[in-house]
Amino acid sequence: MGRKIEDLQVEVDELGLSLVGWQVDDVRARLMTDSFDDVHFQEIVVSGTARFLPEDWTERFTGDDPENYPPTLLIGVSHAGAPDAVTYGYALLETIRKAGKRPVRFSKSSRTWECATPVRPDEITLRMTSFDLEETNIDFVFPSVTPQPLPLDVIDETAHEAVRLKPTAGDAVLVGKDTDRCLQVRLGGFAEFQSADRLLADLVAVEEWRSQDLAEECPFETPVPGLAVEVVDSTGFLLDKRETSLYGRIPVGEGGRVPSRRPRWIAQYSFDLDDLPGEPDRVVVRLLDAEDL
């Protein structure tokens, strides 16, 4: 019996952070293990200091009102044996105005998990990063039980062509055990966009009061599509559905200037199996135009 505290390594995605104005000055993590005979309870704690540099956030795909939020600072956790299956949780959520005034300290604890054999520090991969656009409601928890994958279908139902979500990674897995089981759906990729003329044409199709003259309309912003996630059972019965607007926009500046890079995005969801009226069999993700959400 007793408590054991071990240090964990944390990878810092300096490039991804710098693209959205974040700089992590210091970050450390610890693995706490409380043992009671043959039962062990473990928890990850991450602590650090970050600063937000508004002047480095040059390509903005969300609003820049000082009372709005900059791209969120995230902690990614995965098993070392499956480093690409990353679950992201919030590390710091602060307004542009407050985060830009001084370095901000943060501390984040994972959900506690129970195991018969303690997870070793070298089995845990932690990563600090941020994305231009994100939506996640998954708790910060280590996948201590081997996940069970489910089929995931992604269907693009957008009518506009100037901005498209292009997923580069995605999965749906059942995790946990007994009464603590849940379904996790994770997607991520880029938002690809076309010329200023095409961006304006798609905007005019929704906001018909606008002029089709590019010089007259600049500057303007064209919305980024969103997602609808459907969980179905083996009969096709819809067990649950979540709709997400990423609240992203592709800005077009004076003279038709468009951003020099594509925005990165992630969307992650967690569904408690006890709340579903059936057993999940597959997941369908529909990409939808912003005005349909």
Confidence of residue 242 (pLDDT cuts 50, 70, 90): very high
Three-state DSSP at 157 gives coil
How far is Cα of residue 49 from the mean position of the Cα atoms in its chain? 21
128, β-bridge pairs = 12, 75
What pLDDT, in 10s, does the model give residues 134-175? 999 887 888 766 788 999 999 999 999 999 999 999 999 998
Question: Using CA atoms, how far apart are residues 285 and 268, in angstroms rounded to an integer?
Answer: 11
pLDDT of residue 80: 85
**Domain ranges in the chain?**
1-144, 145-293
Averaged pLDDT score across all residues of the chain: 92
Chain Cα centroid distance, residue 256: 30
Strand partners, 174: 148, 183
Spell out the residues 6+ positions from residue 213 whose beta carbon is closer than 8 angstroms to its own. none
Q: Give the max Cα distance, the chain.
A: 74
Distances (CA, A) of 160 to 115, 198, 286: 49, 10, 14
Phi and psi at 94, nearest 5°, equal: -145, 155
Distance CA 258, CA 195 (A): 7
User: What average pLDDT score do residues 219-247 get?
Assistant: 96
